[in-house]
Chain A
């Protein structure tokens, strides 16, 4: 446990800690290009030079182990002039095409020049010419002239995906980053190289010239693309509809979570969110596809649910829920429909297993299967949704409420056109237009998951908040809000005002969630207090 001093402040760090990490513990930022905590140490960019007492030369903080009694200066004249010199070298052959570079505004050449550079440039020679706007694959564009050869992307494809597409060919200032001749960058995680590129050499084709980085807002959430629940930041614009064809979501970036996805995410998840702004259900649609309002819809649905049937029996209701709903919404569905109304409820909807690997991608494309299982709505013992569908088609249901799933996709072989005739009230709550929405008596526009708060439980038993990036589109409403409104209309004593209170109620009745709250879940999630905890604490990458 070496004890060292950095910029006059003392810190004790674990054995094997490097100076750059020790500085970080003190909140001292040492600039870096090649250093990335998720990759091996390359030590080639030299921007992290620091002044270590008793060492005649400046040392790179990324490779230097913190030593007992070490005294480090990151702000000394020697350290600052060293960094300035390195920066000038890095920018010597840089094209300085910031006005047309997508990285502008979030570029560490710009940032570090402003923070550590501010020299008068001396380079007056003809710059080395290399290739520009090279399409590397479906998602990534390369500008060799902007590349500072830090080798992060090379190490990523060597060490993380082990696909080895990149190389730095030739040598000296002719060295250039490229793919192996004829190779295409099309691995399952290809766009991560854009995230880790500290400059504008690797940019996203999808983001190309769409929005300047400084117009972007960002919100932390999790990816709902599969049961891994990778932590992400959603970058969006709300106030510039002339940009990005009016779509709010501009791009997705992985958010570091050492317990779930480290620094990475897959391309499938990253590019799987187009539905947020496309083909959405925007308004409430009543019978015969009539324009309607939430008041009318909720009144009609509540009335049907409260309507005594022949012999005073409760109406027979069935709910096809979804492992894409939040725990809070599933808990409400359970409380209202299963407990209070005695309805049949299922979140077991058949799906073709999707792409998976031994890294992040899971075959289960629902983000909350484990949450639904803990609530008894999914898993081996739960009622399959098809049974509810059978009941409905057989005319044995008075109300059918389908959430999220397009039945046409899940039960393609069944004749769904009869549903509207077989069931007196057929409600669909979903985010997007689909066959089910067009067949239902009522089509209710749901808020997308990033338009609401709530939690998912990932496949390792980690409960994570999805947060709310931006408000629901048009008339869309959060399903939890709709469910609470229905409960109120039915006179059920559910006094919760929002997801956090619903979660508290759930945590007090469901053992796996015991002791947890939104505060303790925080932005990185928390492991459930169940047998799944073991699975949850085992990081997926440590097992593969």
Chain B
């Protein structure tokens, strides 16, 4: 397809955005999906359409790792080697794939069939070790599934080999978020509406003022489930009422924290719950335009949400004069392209605006000056999916499910060395031990628990005897860690903490946006020291250096990524110092992080 032939579609994309530059990522996706990669000619074409220099376009193409600057194979196989997959043998999986294809990551088979890419977390850790073939997730990869994957990869895009849906535990019991998770094909409008869907949105639009909605959400003690735990109602109340500027609701569906995969289930299986939450939130903050930023690797979630959006427009739950209430709301789905940092709310806004995913200087804060310098509220998918329940069932009921300061339930994403990995809905007052030992069936293979990362890879690690803790934000903070994104990574006794840290450090070095010097240089520095230790070239003084570097990175950057990168270093080394010292003295690990691929 020539660029000229894309002109019409490009115009359509440009029409969705307030600013031309904001069409950067969708135009680059358009080019890549039509031509296979983004050529210099295409960069110039995009630059012309956006009214920016080619340098700005090239910056984005090189910043977002899903874009290719060179032609690639007919299929792309992305193999995740991030921590949760690594715990379950991703290293071995990658080695086998390399052997089968005869290429290394970053290369394309000589016949042009497959390009192999090693990627950081694809947020499908419940099916670890896993990979993604073009748009489809595959896992857990053991001998049989790996065979199917390789066949499909080599057969080409028109392959009839289907990749089986992974069999993992998916909560369907609710009460808040997972009641419509049973159908792997998703819950669509008719069924959603029949089961009490859009009742809450109708209630909000017809009988509640924005203040009443905010009040209700505040009473429900709903807190931001993306990871920060900020009270949602309070956040909404920060939007200035008197601002003449348009206000934006932005949904953070850039799920990227290793160990987290809950939002994907909402997007794929219950997308109308999100849309209904968005309508209510938009009403509360006076917004008539909402963006949903979905990570680039989430092809199917984006398609399913688009289908739900189309349904909602058709049913007059989106668009002009929703259900005759006079309230307007338009929704644009905006796809990322491979950058963890875009989950940081201001980086996400910069990314929508067409820039590299650089977090913004604060102040100003998004509530007063966010997207396109207008008042903006950024909420996580899961947070918004709780809102219809709150309005339908009442704040009291929601609040009663949780603790005094955090209402409701959450979707806990359990991965790693448990018998039953999966997505579990549980009250936030549930304990980590209960979740792991009762719900998930405990540590697999009869091994003992060594440690747990309770809230995604950024969270400080807890040792086996620190897990009698409730999983709400405050309890886990008091325990010296954080609830974060609800990604619970379970680690058994055979695991090397040194290799764990190597994996975590590599992740942060790979994903640092590079804007602030302490983070850009610090993450790379830590990564290289830890790698050196793993290779048996460490010295005992390295440990103090690592702690000092981690300390020096903390609190000095635009966003908290650097802090998040520091926490694993500090917690792993502090809590398992003996093991690190032993590794350094012996030049190798006693444990193993690189599990063999289960056969």
Q: From the candidates A89, A158, A171, A180, name the one contacting B339 in the complex (CB within 8 A).
A: A171
| Number of A residues with CB within 8 Å of any CB on chain B | 48
Expressed in whole angstroms, the minimum distance between the Cβ of B560 and any Cβ of chain A is 10
Q: In the complex, which of the residues A46, A128, A164, A180 contacts B556, with contact meaning CB atoms closer than 8 Å?
A: A46
Mark out the residues of chain A between 132 and 179 whose CB falls within 8 Å of any chain B CB in the assembled complex.
148-149, 154, 158, 163-175, 179
- Of the candidates A122, A172, A180, A182, the one whose C-beta lies within 8 Å of that of B520 is A172
In the complex, which residue of chain B has the Cβ closest to the Cβ of A47?
B517
> Is the C-beta of B555 less than 8 angstroms from some C-beta in chain A?
yes
Q: A43-B361, A86-B556, A175-B514 are in contact. Are A168 and B59 (CB under 8 A)?
A: yes
A180→B511 CA distance, assembly (Å)? 23
Residue of A nearest to B529 (CB): A125
**Does the CB pair B557–A170 fall under 8 Å?**
no
A171 touching B525, Cβ below 8 Å: no
Whether B55 contacts A172 by the Cβ 8 Å rule is: no
Number of chain B residues whose Cβ lies closer than 8 Å to a Cβ of chain A? 42
Given contacts A164-B52, A180-B55, contact A173 B523 (CB under 8 A): yes
Q: How far is the CB of A161 from chain B (nearest CB, A)?
A: 11
Enumerate chain A residues within 8 angstroms of B528, measured Cβ to Cβ.
Answer: 125-126
Q: Is B332 an interface residue (CB 8 A)?
A: no
Identify which of residues 40-74 in chain A touch chain B, using a CB-to-CB cut-off of 8 Å. 41, 43-47, 49, 56-58, 60, 63, 65
Q: A44-B517, A92-B521, A182-B40 are in contact. Are A172 and B510 (CB under 8 A)?
A: yes
Determine if A173 and B55 form an interchain contact, defined as CB atoms under 8 angstroms apart: no
CA of A123 to CA of B541 in the docked complex: distance in angstroms?
12
Which residues between 393 and 407 of chain A lie within 8 Å of chain B, taking CB atoms?
Answer: none
Set of chain B residues within 8 Å of A174, measured between Cβ atoms: 514
Chain A residues with CB under 8 A of B56: 164, 167
Q: Which residues of B contact A47 (CB under 8 A)?
A: 517
A256 is an interface residue with CB less than 8 A from chain B: no
Please tell me which one of the listed residues B58, B517, B548, B549 contacts residue A46 in the complex, with CB atoms under 8 A apart.
B517
Residues of A within 8 A of B515 (CB): 44
With A and B bound together, what is the CA distance between A458 and B52 in angstroms?
35
Is B356's CB within 8 Å of the partner chain A? yes
Chain A nearest CB from B510 CB (Å) reads: 6
A200 at the interface (CB under 8 A from B): no
**A461 at the binding interface (Cβ < 8 Å):** no
Beta-carbon contact of A89 and B517 below 8 Å: yes
B156 proximal to A (CB < 8 A): no
In Å, the complex CA distance between A258 and B363 comes to 28
Q: Are A58 and B558 in contact (CB under 8 A)?
A: no
Q: Shortest beta-carbon distance, B534 to chain A, in Å?
A: 13
- Give A167's nearest chain B residue, CB to CB: B55
Q: Does B532 contact A (CB under 8 A)?
A: yes
Query: B27 within 8 Å of A by Cβ?
Result: no
B107 on the interface (CB 8 Å rule)?
no
B63 interfacial contact with A, CB 8 Å: yes
**Chain B contacts of A166 at CB under 8 A?**
55
**Residue in B closest to A162 when the chains form the complex, CB atoms:** B53
Instruction: Indicate whether A90 reaches chain B with its CB closer than 8 angstroms.
Output: yes
Determine whether B552 belongs to the interface, using a CB cutoff of 8 Å to chain A.
yes
Contact yes or no, B58 A88, CB < 8 A: no
> Is the C-beta of A93 less than 8 angstroms from some C-beta in chain B?
yes
Taking a contact as CB atoms under 8 Å apart, the answer to whether A173 and B53 are in contact is no
A89 touches B532 (CB 8 A): no
CB–CB A164/B53 < 8 A: yes
Contact A170 B524 (CB under 8 A): no
Could you tell me if A63 and B361 are in contact, using CB atoms closer than 8 angstroms? yes
Which residue of chain A is the closest to B53 with respect to CB atoms?
Answer: A164
Min CB gap B256→A, angstroms: 14
Tell me the minimal C-beta distance from A518 to chain B in angstroms: 44
Chain A nearest CB, measured from B57 CB (Å)? 9
Chain A residues with Cβ below 8 Å from B532 are 125
The verdict on B394 contacting chain A, using a C-beta distance below 8 Å, is no
**A181 part of interface (Cβ distance < 8 Å):** yes
B537-570: which residues lie under 8 A (CB-CB) from chain A?
545, 548-549, 552-553, 555-558
A181: contacting residue among B58, B509, B514, B556, CB under 8 A: B58
Q: Does B513 contact A (CB under 8 A)?
A: yes
B444 in the interface (beta carbon within 8 A): no
Query: Which residues on the B side are within 8 Å of A90 (C-beta)?
Result: 517, 521
Docked complex Cα distance between A179 and B548 (Å): 36
B54 interface residue (CB < 8 Å to A):
yes
For residue B174, CB closer than 8 A to chain A, the reply is no
Considering the chains assembled together, what is the distance between the CA atoms of A149 and B53 in angstroms?
Answer: 19
Q: Which residues of A contact B339 (CB under 8 A)?
A: 171
B518 engages A86 (CB within 8 Å): yes
Residues of A within 8 A of B557 (CB): 46
**Complex Cα spacing A123 to B527, Å:** 12
Among A46, A57, A128, which residue has its beta carbon within 8 angstroms of that of B524?
A128
Give the CA-CA distance A90 to B522 in the complex, in Å.
9
* Chain B residue contacts of A122, Cβ below 8 A: 545, 548-549
Chain A binding site: helix, strand, loop or mixed by DSSP?
loop
In the complex, chain B residues whose CB is within 8 Å of the CB of A482: none
Residues of A within 8 A of B55 (CB): 154, 164-167, 179-180, 183
B539 → A minimal CB distance (Å): 9
Q: Which of B514, B553, B556 is in CB contact (< 8 Å) with A49? A: B556
Known contacts A125-B525, A167-B56, A172 near B62 by CB under 8 Å: no
Does the CB pair B558–A44 fall under 8 Å?
A: yes
- For A171, what are the chain B residues with a Cβ–Cβ distance below 8 Å? 62-63, 339, 356, 512-514
Is the beta-carbon distance between A180 and B525 smaller than 8 angstroms? no
CA distance A125 to B516 in the complex (A): 20
Chain A, Cβ-Cβ closest to B563: A57
Q: Say yes or no for A101: interface residue by CB 8 A criterion.
A: no
Q: Are A180 and B521 in contact (CB under 8 A)?
A: no
Is the C-beta of A85 less than 8 angstroms from some C-beta in chain B?
Answer: yes
Q: Could you say which residues of chain B place their CB within 8 Å of the CB of A126?
A: 528
Residue-wise, chain A 90-124 has the 8 Å CB interface mask toward B (1 for contact) of 10110000000000000000000000000000110
Task: Decide: A58 and B555 in contact? CB cutoff 8 A.
Answer: yes
Which residue in chain B gives the minimum CB-CB distance to A125? B528
CB neighbours of A49 from chain B (8 A): 556
Alpha-carbon distance A180/B54, docked complex (angstroms): 7
Interface string of B141-177 (1 = CB under 8 A from A): 0000000000000000000000000000000000000
Instruction: Given A63-B361, A164-B54, answer yes or no on A88-B509 (Cβ-Cβ < 8 Å).
Output: no
How close is B324's CB to chain A, nearest CB, in angstroms?
A: 46
A82 proximal to B (CB < 8 A)? yes
Closest chain B residue to A158, Cβ basis: B53
B70 CB to closest chain A CB (Å) equals 12
Cα(A94)–Cα(B556), bound, Å:
20
Q: 1/0 contact trace for A436-447 toward B, CB 8 Å?
A: 000000000000
* B residues less than 8 Å from A86 (CB atoms): 517-518, 556
- Pick the contact of A173: B520, B552, B555, B556 (CB < 8 A): B520
In the complex, the answer to whether B516 meets A170 with C-beta atoms within 8 Å is no
- Judge whether A173 and B58 touch: CB under 8 Å: no
Which residues of B lie under 8 Å from residue A93 when comparing CB positions?
A: 521, 524
Q: Is the CB of A169 within 8 A of B529?
A: no
Indicate whether A58 sits within 8 Å of B556 (C-beta atoms), given known contacts A89-B522, A93-B524, A173-B509: yes
Residues of chain A lying within 8 A (CB to CB) of residue B40: 181-182
Closest chain B residue, CB of each to CB of A89: B521
- The answer for the CA separation of A540 and B544 in the assembled complex, in Å, is 56
Q: Which residues of B contact A41 (CB under 8 A)?
A: 361
Q: Which of A43, A123, A158, A179 contacts B525 (CB 8 A)?
A: A123
Q: For the complex, what is the distance from the CA of A242 to the CA of B549, rounded to whole Å? A: 47
**A to B CB contacts below 8 Å, 15 in the list:** A47-B517, A85-B556, A86-B518, A88-B552, A89-B517, A93-B524, A123-B525, A158-B53, A164-B52, A167-B55, A168-B514, A171-B63, A173-B512, A173-B523, A175-B520
Interface residues of B (CB under 8 A from A): 40, 52-56, 58-59, 62-63, 339, 356, 361, 363, 509-518, 520-525, 528-529, 532, 545, 548-549, 552-553, 555-558
List 7 additional A-B contacts (Cβ < 8 Å) besides A168-B514, A169-B58: A47-B517, A92-B521, A93-B524, A126-B528, A171-B512, A172-B511, A180-B53
Among all A-B residue pairs, the 6 with the closest Cβ atoms: A164-B53, A167-B55, A173-B524, A85-B552, A175-B514, A89-B521
